[in-house]
Structure 1
């Protein structure tokens, strides 16, 4: 945990510095045109300065869950979300701070979440403690951490590359309306994926423990149950999207052009949503069980 904590700090610093240096290029690559580049830069600049809180908070929250405190881990996520929902309208409309207000609300929410997470490791309830002696990087530990995390990194990086390519195509053929419509589609997809991600993260410590104890029957039972439950969630969500796409888009924006484009794009883009559960749970399973799997499936 000490090595992971150090890596989180280093990654957040490198990420922030590089993005600030190449901010306009990064935003342009993601599809920002002249119309939205300045407000996007105002928002992103504040978010980047607060990214260290987001990275440390979300990263260390995994250790809270792994040591047997899933409820506290869930509460950590709720703190940031609820604070953001409360502060955003106050800063945007009450103080008339616009995009900067939205970013500041997110930054403060991430800061509070990070402080809440870190405070856990200095209480008696925590099994794991943060010790400076454990924060000195070890080559062996760093390699093992990176080996386990590279799968998630590649997945997230692939998603970012997809967004860059898609936004540039949308900007060329549909303009700002098309980009706004796909942002709505991505938001809806995120709502669907959140509970499935929660299931995947929740089963990983249990699967890892039982896999290590060679209790393969319980591992298979948990894996199958999680896949079935996640697939049911994704399938029900897909049916809902298929029948009322216009209503979902209208929640975000009342523009007729945006509703027309967004609802059509949503049905096509989320056509294979029922497969998401299988994919996310499967990826979580392999992260939780590093090593040989042939004995388990004999």
Structure 2
């Protein structure tokens, strides 16, 4: 059993066992972000303005990641504490409530994001030139909010159950699909920003399906049951309170990107935003593996 292994195995072997798959998964995610920009930057009629569109939209993506981390980290932490106390029923409820919370937050993000998409992009610093590119991309990506939330939440619970390799496989599947369909949709079918967005949410959808199949299967340490998907406010509140630090850390990153984009847009224009988008991509490759150790 995974829980017995967690109790008996040495700390250093466990650290290696958990951190290596996480580092690989994060590195793959970083690479496919770079590939996104690479295809867009080299696509006909996109180039720098297309990269600027993604860069302007990036703070919104980070907000969604912050919400996903809040629920995923908060839920997985409460789940682990309950398992440590041998309170299996509580662990089941925390897992189910985390999934429901991700669905609720994801749907709200999709609805309100699309209603206010143009004002949001204006606030984020989108110029009249960049606006249609950013809107084409973000409007589709927002429809994948639930996919991303559940996939990230599932990754956290896979690790909490002592199966970090499952989280890594989920990320590899999503990234592989994204890279392949970026090439097909952008370079071959010339679908532009919409093609990039479809490839992104397609990868997130597959990652979500992989995690749901795992959590609902007998391979899962705590099998996800429908009866545990009923929202219980005290459990939901525990999850949110525990996940707030992770949420605030990611939100700080979003605010930083917003300020950077706004400043660059004001003093350097769209080309400056494109440049920082490229730089950020390579910076992510360096930072993401370190995130796997956290």
TM-score by length of structure 1 reads 0.65
Q: 1:137 corresponds to which residue?
A: 231
The higher radius of gyration belongs to 1
Within 5 Å, which residues of 2 pair with 1:38-117?
38-117=132-211
Q: Provide the secondary structure at the position in 2 that maps to 1:32.
A: coil
Q: Which moved more, 1:109-118 or 1:180-189?
A: 180-189
User: What is the CA-CA distance between 1:106 and the residue it aligns to?
Assistant: 0.9
Q: 1:194 corresponds to which residue?
A: 288
Structure 2's unaligned 5+ residue stretches are 1-94
Q: Provide the secondary structure at the position in 2 that maps to 1:199.
A: coil
Q: 2:116 corresponds to which residue?
A: 22
Equivalent residues of 2:154, 2:167 under 8 A apart: no
User: What is the CA-CA distance between 1:189 and the residue it aligns to?
Assistant: 2.0
Give per-residue Cα distances to partners, 1:26-85, cap 9 Å, x unaligned.
Answer: 112222111110011011111111111111111112111110111111111111111111
Q: 2:258 corresponds to which residue?
A: 164
Structure 1's unaligned 5+ residue stretches are 201-298
RMSD: 1.2
Q: 2:111 & 2:216 partners in 1: Cα distance?
A: 30
User: What is the CA-CA distance between 1:190 and the residue it aligns to?
Assistant: 1.4
Q: 1:131 & 1:116 partners in 2: Cα distance?
A: 16
Equivalent residues of 1:30, 1:163 under 8 A apart: no
Q: 2:246 & 2:142 partners in 1: Cα distance?
A: 21
Q: Provide the secondary structure at the position in 2 that maps to 1:18.
A: helix
Q: 1:32 corresponds to which residue?
A: 126
Q: 2:183 & 2:247 partners in 1: Cα distance?
A: 33
User: What is the CA-CA distance between 1:96 and the residue it aligns to?
Assistant: 1.3
Give per-residue Cα distances to partners, 1:121-156, cap 9 Å, x unaligned.
Answer: 222211112222212222321222111110111112
Equivalent residues of 1:2, 1:130 under 8 A apart: yes
TM-score by length of structure 2 reads 0.66
